[in-house]
Amino acid sequence: MSVSTPIVVVGAGIIGLDVALVLARQGLGRSVTIVAEYLPGDTAVEYTSPWAGCNFSAISGRDANALKWDRACYSHLTKLASENPKESFVVRTPSTEFWDEDVPHDKIKAMSEYLEDFVILPKEELPEGVSFGVSFTTVTINAPKHLQYLQKMLKEQYGVQFVRQKIPNLQSVFEANPAAKIVFNCIGNAARTMPGVQDYKCYPTRGQVILVRAPHVRRNIMRHGKDYETYVIPRPESNGNVILGGYMQKGNGDGATYSHENQSILERTTELSTELRSAEPEILASFAGLRPSREGGARVEREEISIGGGEKRVVVHNYGAGGTGYQAGYGMALEAVQSVEDLLQAIGKSQNGRAKL
């Protein structure tokens, strides 16, 4: 099927959807088509976004980009939480975060400047083995529902089109769709193998989580250990479900779930969360997700490529967010869109700049 819009976003995970949202808010919704193998509502191990917890935390990187994107995205998410929590499935939640060691002080300081209700916990309140702790107001997100919310809003309010299609290589997007001038490459893990990208800095970071029913759990809590990540994330608008996790297994692309890992998760999370301990959670299911990680951090970069016949087109790469897609996605999208601001001017004019007889 041929797409007739000048802008194509490849990938319908949180990254691609956030890009489309930024474009739509600029008035370019009708010039955007999202083309993807999987769409919101689908589940597949190759489609990472539905499997996220998820929440906003200090799990992201310490580099300048991560800090910048996090900050922008926190602003975006808290706004959603204020204006439309029920429909967007983004909700303010009290959060506690612990570090056993290796405390990223500079990053925490940077985050303290914008996190609501930020407080450094006194030493006496820290559990054994924890060397540093903070509490603040985070946002928790019901990942699969948030994706569907975005899709619906993009379609209905902004005129963004969605097409289900598996892309064999990056070049083909332009070849099959002559009207396309800019392609946003938001393919996550596929960036490693997709011809035309083949970014070998990309690797999956496997996580496993358990979905439980535990309506008494209201607080988001995370513990960064020497060789583990443990977290309890209450899931918004889910009838009291909670996500328990987890793992950060770099380079592991296994989509299976393992009972021994579930056991470990249960033990670590009940130790971590007093709320969870207070009543037996009802265990519902176990999921594995593959975070689309990348050495050096996510790639947000404009590239000019040649398609046949001396023609040039523009690709904006926007992948490799690892476990930070939801908490940095909007910030990354802003940057990705900014990188082609000049071209968008022309597109905006041709879409919106005509007088009507």
- For 76-143, give the DSSP string: HHHHHHHH-HHHHTEEEEEEEEEESS---HHHHHHHHTTSEEEEEPPGGGSPTT--EEEEEEEEEE-H
State the Cα–Cα distance between residues 57 and 221, nearest whole angstrom: 10
Q: How far is CA 338 from CA 22, 62, 94, 192, in A?
A: 10, 22, 33, 25
Known binding positions for D-dopa: 224, 231, 291, 323
- Residue positions in the annotated binding site? 48-49, 224, 231, 291, 323
Identify which of residues 63 and 175 has a Cβ nearer to other proteins in the complex: 63
Task: Find the shortest distance in angstroms from Cβ 77 to other proteins.
Answer: 13
- The Cα 218–Cα 252 span in angstroms is 31
Closer of 117 and 282 to other proteins (Cβ): 282
CB of 125 to other proteins, least distance (A): 22
CB of 352 to other proteins, least distance (A): 4
Distances (CA, A) of 265 to 66, 81, 253, 271: 27, 28, 19, 10
Residues 6+ apart with CB under 8 A from 160: 20, 24, 29, 30, 32, 33, 34, 154
Residue placing its CB nearer to other proteins in the complex, 144 or 168: 144
325: cis peptide before it, omega within 30°?
no
Is residue 33 a contact partner of residue 206, using CB atoms and an 8 Å limit? Answer: no
The two three-digit tokens of residue 74, written as one number: 């926190």
Which of residues 169 and 263 has its CB atom nearest to other proteins in the complex? Answer: 263
Q: Which amino acid is at 44?
A: A
Q: How far is the CB of 194 from other proteins (least distance, A)?
A: 18
Output 128 or 342, the one with its CB closest to other proteins.
342
Could you tell me which residues are annotated as the binding site for FAD? 48-49
Smallest distance from other proteins to CB 13, Å: 19
